[in-house]
A and B are shown apart, each in its own frame.
Chain A
Amino acid sequence: MTASIMAYAYSEGPATGVTADIVATSTIAVIEESSPGTTTYARPIVPTLFTTQLSAWTTTLSLEAPAGVYACSYDAVTQRVTIESTNATAFRPVMSGNAAVWLGFSQTLAGYALTWTGESAPAAVAELVGAMVQPAEDAARVDLERYRHGRAVAVAWGNHQTHRVRLVFARSTALDAIAAGYLTTGRVRVWQCGDLTAYSPTNIDGYIDGYVIAADDPIESGDVGELWTLDLVVGVAR
């Protein structure tokens, strides 16, 4: 696994059903060809990391849909999300809220198929050239910090430590995702390399999982325009 940054999806549940509050990136639905009048919804019941959300969708859709057994996955190499039926049930995914952007399903979703793969990279994750996480700093004086990214407000609060993080990424693979906003506010997880365990003083190449307190504007490296950097301050609960 290379360096990457991944967002958390906000969700209040319930796990299924059409009615839910604050549906932006939490919910996906499927309609099966054999039951065209039934739309099956799936969402995590609490805010979850993007890949955990895909697993939650997999479980719920397989449990609740009329016939299909589903698998929702993200391929870091192709940077695409795939939703597929593993028991040959033709279906069509339905994007709720802003899920199409979140998942990279920018195409028109019509007809039925066994497998659906997003045409674009998801906005929930960015594959990076590199990520540098500075040692933790005392953040006894953190606050609700506001910066203009649309009207996004980054938050953190007491009893947190902060990490200064520099993301290096390619314009072609990650700039759109970075610019979408999901990776520069709210809760994110940043992997520096292939170490899948959490950062600690004795595991300094581990990932950090926290709340974006501040973010600079992306800066172009050199004048070629291919590599960019972005500095974040991420607050991690102690």
Chain B
Amino acid sequence: MSVWDAMRYGFSPVYWITIAGVPVVFIERATGLSLPSGYTTEDASLVIDSTAPIGVESVNRETGVPVSMPLGFKLLDTLTVRDWLRRWIKSMTITADMTATQATAAVDDSTGWSNGDAVYMGLERATIGTVASGTSLTGLTRATVGTLAYAHATSTTAQIMTDRPRFWRGREVVLWASPVDPSGFPTGTALADDAVQVWRGDIDTGPDREVDGFRFAALSIDRKLDRELAPGVSGQVVDTSAKVSISSGYKIACAIRANDNAGGYVWQYDLELYPFAADADGDLLTHGEIRDRVIAAWSAAVSAEGGGANVGSMEWGSTSGENNVARVTIPANANVYGFEIFIAFDGVQLISTTSSWPQNWSAATATLGGRIELGWEAPGNALTPNQPGGLPYAWMMTVKIDDGDPSTITAPGIVALTIDGQRRAIRYALASAASDSVYLAVLSPADGAAALPTREQMVKADAQILLGDEGTLPEMMLRCLMSSGTGERSATYDTLERGQGYGIDEALVDAASFTGAPAPIGSLVGEVSSAGASFAGLFGGALGLFRHAVVARPNAAGAVTLRLVSTAPFGAGHVYTITDTDLLSATDDPVSSVRRAESPTSIAVVRPLGGGADDGDRFVFVDAEQIDARGLVEVELTVPAVDRAALWDAAGPAATSQLAGDQTAQTVEARVPPWVLGDVGDIVQLEITHPALWTWSTAPAGPGYAGAARVVGRRLDLVTGAVTLTLLADSGVSVAGLSPSMLIAAHGGTAAAPTTIDVPLLYLEHMTTALTEAVGNVWLSHYQPGQIETVTQLHEISAAAESGGLCRLTVASTSGGHSLSTALLSSLTLPTLDGGNLSTWQANFAHVDDGTTWG
């Protein structure tokens, strides 16, 4: 029940919008009601009468994204609007980067700013707690008035703080409708009390001046899914040597002492080596470069200690055939009979070496070549002494990047190299950033090739680091939608770097619809590279193949959110029955056929990052007879699956189902009042006699349609309230959702007379709806694998609720004399048509004996 239901009784909606960051409610008429938190002004300046119907016109079933209509609106030329559509008066510039959570800011000049002022930084609005000094703000309250928190860097457009928005494009717009009774009385005490969210999107154009105000156009939130994400990081491979990220303050402390033959010492020095003092933190150095720096640092330390007469230079080598053992030249000295050496590596690792001889060092030096070994072996990284050798050289590369922050490159991922005009995709498992380059290691082919390119091929190759992700498809979709690089949008899904996701707040995504998606789309494991790609490009093929889409529609709480919905023409569990009485017919036919996309005769399923060495990554499913008749009409669907076999298993049934089912699918538009339920993805039951629909499945066939249809579009005319539903009906074959088979996990009471039965939680929604629709108890039939469900073994269910992670059914009665057995896989399903108290709602599902086809 809502403003739309009340319209039948003379109520009308008064529309209002909020624009992120602007504490003004722009409304069609002033109501005097309390405003939402953070909003201070109600301004009667909104005009929406000239906008086209808003909502989803249809779903592109090949890309899984909707064709959503934009919202056009005008703000009249009021004093409030003028005050907001003006240049800022005050501004300052941040002088240090800010994180998304930072409550302080360093600025160039805060003159003129006061405590409590609002500041605009890019799309974000914040409130100043205290102007602590001329160059410092503290106590910032971030992300106020509907905005989101972003990281802001100097030398970007968001470095300027202003007292008015600097730009409007990209700001979120939310359209609401509040009921007004026939006398013009707005209900409730607060504007939001009885309001419903109608639409949500971002400003795309405007403000454009018109004679009496300013016009804006905004795109629906689901249109974002077609926008390309940030490009991959480009660069060039500079070498393929193993490298180590170093710290400029790294210290090697070496105590070296020459002993005499009486227990004393001849000389001793405490040397402090700072080999990377001239480098920057995070610089990547090869093992050879590290050894060279250690040698130089040794000489500097000896000199600083004035030990040049006794301690010579350092070198890496060995008299025993081992490479890269640290040795130091010691001049001949007849008083020296041995050495003690103690080395500490940045306080972490220690080496202690003691040597002595029966003769003095002047005599010993003849056999030892004038050098002593420090006990410091470094076949790989000299900073991790006495460890096994480094990784094979073929497994690593350093890429000098052209632009951007190397620290945003995370592992694992994929880097694409262009070698002799050919593209090679290489997966890396380790990434380490330096100031202008990134070191990628543990490399392996990602393009199906058997081996990596040679070192010589890789060096100087152009590289594009494809920011990647992997996991189940719903998980990757959620990360792509929510990731902002700040971690602020979602604790679970905002995990990718900035540019790899759309940064949509978790509150605007119905995550449960993704994580609860059925197999195969819910379980298929994939890998994507988001660089320069869009959500539709990454996941559209999978959505299309498995008949799903991501659309903006109200959730149960009335908020417009992104939701993963089914677009399959079949289904059960309708939300509304549309009859002739619901059809609007004044201005045009209430039902009209819509030309739909040509049904394919061939479906090609492609795994991305494939090609090259493995042609098997492209599966083609054909309808040979249709090709004979109509020619090749191919649809290519890209599914980023990791496992070729798993994709094959899933794609075969899905593709052949489309080839068969699409031939007789019919699409119609029906105009109905706004109180008719059914949003995109829902099933509605049609009981319509209009001849624009045709029932194929009866004999003889005839006009009109009685059966289920999938809603694939819903548009609302804001002025009249008329709704146009786009409906997809499967007609040639009557396909219904299969009766659930609920495997019993446990029960209360006895096996013969259970009081409760626990089944998997995924059946809770089904059972709750069944009970609600039945307005009373429903019956379930018991069977065990191998048995045929009968009308005799029945359980009367009176309630369903979550309990301990399961769906607990309350049993009102049991008949049939059977006993439950989890060992024998006792299961529950819907009663059959030949008896057994089948409810009307349950009858919408396919049964073994009803002649329908299971979908």
Contact = CB atoms under 8 A, between A and B. Distances in A.
A24 B584 contact: no
Given A22-B194, A144-B673, A155-B673, A182 B182 contact: yes
Contact of B183 (A98, A154, A187): A98
B582 interface: yes
Given A150-B180, A182-B10, A158 B185 contact: no
Contacts of B179: 22, 24
A143 B9 contact: no
Contact of A143 (B5, B184, B581, B584): B584
Q: Which of B181, B184, B194, B672 counts the most A-chain CB atoms under 10 A from its CB?
A: B181
Nearest to B587: A143
B627 interface: no
A12 interface: yes
A212 B187 CA distance: 22
A187 B181 CA distance: 12
A185 interface: yes
Contact of B583 (A123, A155, A158): A158
Given A152-B12, A187-B10, A142 B586 contact: yes
Contact of A151 (B29, B194, B580): B29
Q: Which of B5, B183, B582, B586 counts the most A-chain CB atoms under 10 A from its CB?
A: B183
Contacts of B673: 144, 155, 157
Interface string B1-31: 1110111111111100000000000001100
A21 B587 contact: no
A119 B743 CA distance: 67
A153 B581 contact: no
B10 A185 contact: yes
Given A142-B586, A157-B582, A47 B9 contact: yes
A181 B10 contact: yes
Nearest to B671: A143
Given A22-B6, A152-B182, A186-B9, A97 B28 contact: no
A141 B181 contact: no
A184 interface: yes
Q: Which of A151, A182, A237 counts the most B-chain CB atoms under 10 A from its CB?
A: A151
Nearest to B581: A159
Given A97-B187, A146-B720, A185-B182, A10 B586 contact: no
Interface string B160-180: 000000000000000000011
A23 interface: yes
A224 to B, nearest CB: 28
Interface in B173-226: 179-185, 187-188, 193-194
A196 to B, nearest CB: 23
B111 interface: no
Contacts of A211: 8
B99 interface: no
Contact of B585 (A8, A24, A142): A142
Nearest to A160: B581
Contacts of B180: 150-151
B181 A10 contact: yes
B590 interface: yes
B581 A237 contact: yes
B429 interface: no
A143 B183 contact: no
Contacts of A142: 584-586
A128 interface: no
B582 A158 contact: yes
Contacts of A141: 585-586
A10 B6 contact: yes
A123 B7 contact: no
Interface string B391-425: 00000000000000000000000000000000000
B721 interface: yes
A226 interface: no
Nearest to A183: B182
Contact of A155 (B2, B8, B185): B8
Contacts of B843: none
B584 A158 contact: yes
B676 to A, nearest CB: 9
Interface in A12-53: 12, 21-25, 47
A90 interface: no
Given A21-B194, A157-B583, A101 B183 contact: yes
Contact of B12 (A153, A184, A212): A153
Contacts of A98: 181, 183, 185
A127 B1 CA distance: 32
Q: Which of A101, A155, A181 counts the most B-chain CB atoms under 10 A from its CB?
A: A155
A193 to B, nearest CB: 25
A150 to B, nearest CB: 4
Interface string A198-209: 000000000000
A158 B9 CA distance: 16
B701 interface: no
Interface in B554-610: 580-587, 590
A155 B581 contact: no
A217 interface: no
A26 to B, nearest CB: 9
A98 B185 CA distance: 7
B719 interface: yes
A180 interface: yes
B722 interface: yes
A238 B702 CA distance: 25
Contacts of A24: 11, 179, 181, 185, 187
8 contacts: A22-B179, A23-B187, A47-B8, A150-B184, A155-B7, A181-B183, A185-B10, A186-B182
Interface of B: 1-3, 5-14, 28-29, 179-185, 187-188, 193-194, 580-587, 590, 672-673, 719-722
Q: In the A-B complex, list the 4 residue pairs whose CB atoms are closest, starting with the nearest.
A: A186-B10, A143-B586, A185-B10, A24-B181
Given A10-B8, A155-B7, 18 more contacts: A7-B10, A9-B9, A21-B194, A98-B185, A140-B585, A143-B585, A143-B720, A143-B722, A144-B586, A150-B12, A150-B184, A153-B720, A155-B8, A157-B672, A158-B584, A182-B181, A187-B10, A237-B581
